[in-house]
């Protein structure tokens, strides 16, 4: 195009205006002012593809008096099945509808509601992919049917090329902003996790260091070659327990890394579900007794399935630890049952409970139902548990309300074919 | 001479910490009572008048900060010196207005803790005489 022609000069001015647009609203305001000035059409709109290769377009903005109504009538339109929109995305050429009321390509319900007369849609493309469409046209009898001249249409195509670049930039900025928000959220969750992990590790470390210092004190007081065996034995037993607790916390962290990297491998064998659950109860019993709540197992008969023994034990142990931690020192019930090809493990406590709004969140990584200022744990136990259960083709769910305890239910298929 | 053993209330939600502190302080002649959160500690304080409180911060039901606020509001309890021991981050910020005898970061040093307890025993004895 020769830059000395008025059209080229106008298009350059339009491109410069578009450079300032940082949102789709601003983009459309600038565009509508231009269609109104050059073509005399008071309305303009933008269709934007929702996702690349998706079958829907979103009417992103509609500028002019019809704004509110169009937004309500057609916020999302399917590409397939809508003749006019299919045509827009099938080629680079503008699609002109002289009279929307009689043209077979239009959606008559929308035309009826909006009062469309002439419709012009110009495809927007970026990096050779469809991005959406720039639309304009007339409404109602007062504006009437007024198709654009060949020169006006050529100018619209020029405008669309400029709008494509601006719309692509705005979409890119929007995506970047959303990605930034997601990254910030993930970083915050990880920071919270590190804080609670360090808190969690320091607690057994405190018990451990107090016992060790106290043992040294006993030895120093004894002074001579005689070692005071009974008090030291007691201390060392306690030291071993704290070391075990630290080890299990660190193992838990390693398990998380394994699950997160997708390296969770199951070693399945035919076992009675009662065996790993009983092993978990044996490991948790001491902590439960010290917290004040006994664990009661109801498992009248064998429930045999093809599972990873260690993994199922870790599931049962995680649920028990949770029940002990939040169980307010009240009894914990564990039930095992089998129906057909499904096995069920239920762990029920009568502690502080979990609000219904938190039920989904507790199974996510780094999430706990209680505030970070509350105790304790990495916020990973249930996330790992969910992954282990799902790797077995099973499901885990919770029923709970504040103050009414929590009941966790694990359903497992007894075979590995689901 | 120690007429009566100095009484200490340990408030911590972690059963291991409660047990170990009871044990090591008990061995040194202190009379230790434990509570698993701020609310049960307030219950215990209806009958118990300890010379010193060792207080954790992160606890369920009622945390250490809330416990300390309740304690400060009660004239009968406000005067009991209170030492916070916690593994939380930014302990200074969280305990700023609590008028504490001390704030110890976990893992705590036993000798340091014992020295501090002794300071308060002397103070209480002197104040009480």
pLDDT in tens, A387-410: 889 889 999 999 998 889 999 999
Measure the CA–CA gap between A287 and B19, rounded to whole angstroms. Answer: 12
Which pLDDT score, from 0 to 100, does residue A379 have?
55
pLDDT of res. A18: 93
Q: Looking at chain B, which residue has its C-alpha nearest residue A213?
A: B110
Residue B85, pLDDT score: 93
Per-residue pLDDT, averaged over A78-92, amounts to 79
Whether B20 and A204 lie within 8 Å, measured CB to CB: no
What's the confidence (pLDDT) of residue A158? 92
- Of residues A135 and A80, more confidently modeled: A135
Q: Identify the sign of the CA torsion A234, A237, A241, A247.
A: positive
Contacts of residue B109 in chain A, CB cutoff 8 Å? 209, 213
How far is the CA of B18 from the CAs of A204, A244, B53, in angstroms? 11, 18, 13
Segment A118-143 mean pLDDT = 89
Kindly state the average pLDDT of the residues A371-398. Answer: 73
Beta strands in A109-232 (DSSP E): 116-126, 129-139
pLDDT at A373: 40
Q: How confident is the model at residue A272 (pLDDT cuts 50, 70, 90)?
A: very high
pLDDT of residue A113: 84
Residues A15-34, mean pLDDT to the nearest whole number: 89
Most confident of A125-134, A142-151, A363-372, A380-389: A142-151
- Chain B residues within an 8 Å CB radius of A245: 16
Q: How far apart are CA A95 and CA A45, in angstroms?
A: 14
At residue A166, does pLDDT exceed 80? yes
Of the listed ranges A168-182, A251-265, B58-72, the one predicted with least confidence: A251-265
B109 contacts A209? CB cut-off 8 A: yes
Q: What is the mean pLDDT of residues A156-184?
A: 91
Query: Mean pLDDT over all residues of chain A?
Result: 83
Among residues A288, A365, A298, the alpha carbon closest in space to that of A335 is found at A298
Give me the pLDDT at residue B129, please: 39
Strand ranges in A252-303 using DSSP code E only, listed in sequence order: 268-272, 295-298
Predicted local confidence at residue A371, as pLDDT: 44
A246 touches B: beta carbon within 8 Å: no
pLDDT below 50 — which residues of chain B? 1, 128-129
Residue A50 has pLDDT above 80, yes or no: no
CB-nearest partner of B110 from A202, A210, A374: A210
Say what the pLDDT of residue B128 is: 47
The answer to whether the CB atoms of A203 and B87 lie below 8 A apart is yes
Arithmetic mean of pLDDT, A328-335? 92
Predicted local distance difference test score (pLDDT) of residue A349: 93
For residues A275 and A7, which has the higher predicted lDDT (pLDDT)? A275
* Candidates B13, B59, B106; nearest CB to A202: B106
Please compute the mean of the pLDDT values over residues A74-85 and round it to a whole number: 72
Backbone angles phi, psi at B35, to 5 degrees: -140, 145
* A209 contact residues in B (CB cutoff 8 A): 107-110
Percent of chain A with pLDDT over 70: 87
Give the pLDDT of residue A157: 93
> What pLDDT, on a 0 to 100 scale, did the predictor assign at position A375?
40
* Structure confidence at residue A276 as a pLDDT band (50, 70, 90): very high
Q: Is the predicted pLDDT of residue A222 greater than 90, yes or no?
A: no
User: How many other C-beta atoms lie within 10 A of the C-beta of residue A294?
Assistant: 13
Alpha helix (H) residue ranges in B7-76: 15-27, 38-44, 64-73
Which of A9-18, A204-213, A256-265, A310-319 shows the lowest per-residue confidence on average (mean pLDDT)?
A256-265
Both structure tokens of A202: 């320091």
Beta-sheet pairing, A95-97 with A76-78: unpaired
- Are A207 and B13 contacting, i.e. CB atoms less than 8 angstroms apart? no
Q: What is the mean pLDDT of chain B?
A: 87
Q: Is the pLDDT of residue A378 over 60?
A: no
For residue A75, the model assigns a pLDDT of 62
- Percent of chain A past pLDDT 90, that is, above it, reads 33
Answer whether residue A6 shows pLDDT above 80. Answer: no
Structure-token pair, residue B67: 């416990």
pLDDT at A369: 46
Asked whether A132 and A57 are in contact (CB, 8 A), the reply is: yes
Residue A374: pLDDT band (50, 70, 90) is very low
Tokens coding B30: 């202190």
**CB-CB neighbors (< 8 A) of B24 in chain A:** 210-211, 213-214
* Of residues B4 and A230, more confidently modeled: A230
* Residue A51 predicted with pLDDT over 70: no
Whole-number pLDDT of residue A58: 65
* Residue A60 pLDDT exceeds 70: no
């Amino acid at each position: 195009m020769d830059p000395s022609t008025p059209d080229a000069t106008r298009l350059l001015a339009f491109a410069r205006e578009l450079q300032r647009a940082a949102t789709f609203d601003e983009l459309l305001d600038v565009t509508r002012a231009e269609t109104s000035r050059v073509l005399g059409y008071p309305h303009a709109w933008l269709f934007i593809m929702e996702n690349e290769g998706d079958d829907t377009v979103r009417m992103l903005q509609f500028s002019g008096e019809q704004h509110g109504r169009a937004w309500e009538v057609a916020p999302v339109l399917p590409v397939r099945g809508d003749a006019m929109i299919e045509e827009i995305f099938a080629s680079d050429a503008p699609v002109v509808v002289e009279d929307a009321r009689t043209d077979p390509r239009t959606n008559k319900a929308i035309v009826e509601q909006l009062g469309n007369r002439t419709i012009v849609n110009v495809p927007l493309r970026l990096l050779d992919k469809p991005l959406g469409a720039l639309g304009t046209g007339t409404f109602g009898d007062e504006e009437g049917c007024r198709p654009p001249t060949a020169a006006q249409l050529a100018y619209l195509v020029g405008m669309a090329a400029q709008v494509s670049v601006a719309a692509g930039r705005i979409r890119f900025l929007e995506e970047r902003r959303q990605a930034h928000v997601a990254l910030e959220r993930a970083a915050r969750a990880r920071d919270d996790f590190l804080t609670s992990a360090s808190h969690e590790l320091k607690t057994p470390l405190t018990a451990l260091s107090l016992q060790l210092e106290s043992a040294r004190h006993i030895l120093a007081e004894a002074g001579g070659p005689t070692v005071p065996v009974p008090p030291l034995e007691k201390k060392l037993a306690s030291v071993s327990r704290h070391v075990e607790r630290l080890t299990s916390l660190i193992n838990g962290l390693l398990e998380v890394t394994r699950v997160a990297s997708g390296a969770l491998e199951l070693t399945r064998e035919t076992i009675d579900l009662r065996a790993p659950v009983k092993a978990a109860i044996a490991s948790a019993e001491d902590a439960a007794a010290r917290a004040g709540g006994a664990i009661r197992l109801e498992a009248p008969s064998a429930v045999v399935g093809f599972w990873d023994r260690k993994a199922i034990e870790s599931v049962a142990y995680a649920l028990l630890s949770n029940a002990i931690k939040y169980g307010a020192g009240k009894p914990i019930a564990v039930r095992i049952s089998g129906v057909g090809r499904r096995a069920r493990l239920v762990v029920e406590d009568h502690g502080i409970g979990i609000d219904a709004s938190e039920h989904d969140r507790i199974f996510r990584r780094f999430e706990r139902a209680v505030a970070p200022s509350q105790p304790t744990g990495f916020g990973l136990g249930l996330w790992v548990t969910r992954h282990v259960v799902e790797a077995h083709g099973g499901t885990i769910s919770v029923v709970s309300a504040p103050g009414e305890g929590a009941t966790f239910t694990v359903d497992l298929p007894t075979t590995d074919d689901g | 001479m120690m007429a009566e053993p100095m009484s200490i209330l340990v408030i911590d939600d972690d059963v291991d910490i409660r047990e170990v502190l009871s044990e090591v302080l008990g061995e040194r002649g202190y009379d230790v009572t434990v509570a698993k959160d701020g609310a049960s500690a307030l219950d215990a304080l209806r009958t118990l008048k300890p010379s010193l409180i060792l207080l954790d911060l992160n606890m369920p039901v009622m945390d250490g900060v809330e416990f300390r606020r309740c304690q400060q509001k009660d004239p009968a309890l406000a005067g009991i010196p209170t030492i916070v021991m916690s593994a939380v981050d930014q302990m200074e910020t969280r305990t700023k207005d609590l008028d504490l005898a001390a704030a110890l970061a976990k893992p705590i040093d036993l000798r340091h803790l014992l020295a501090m307890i002794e300071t308060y025993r002397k103070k209480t004895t002197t104040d009480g005489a």
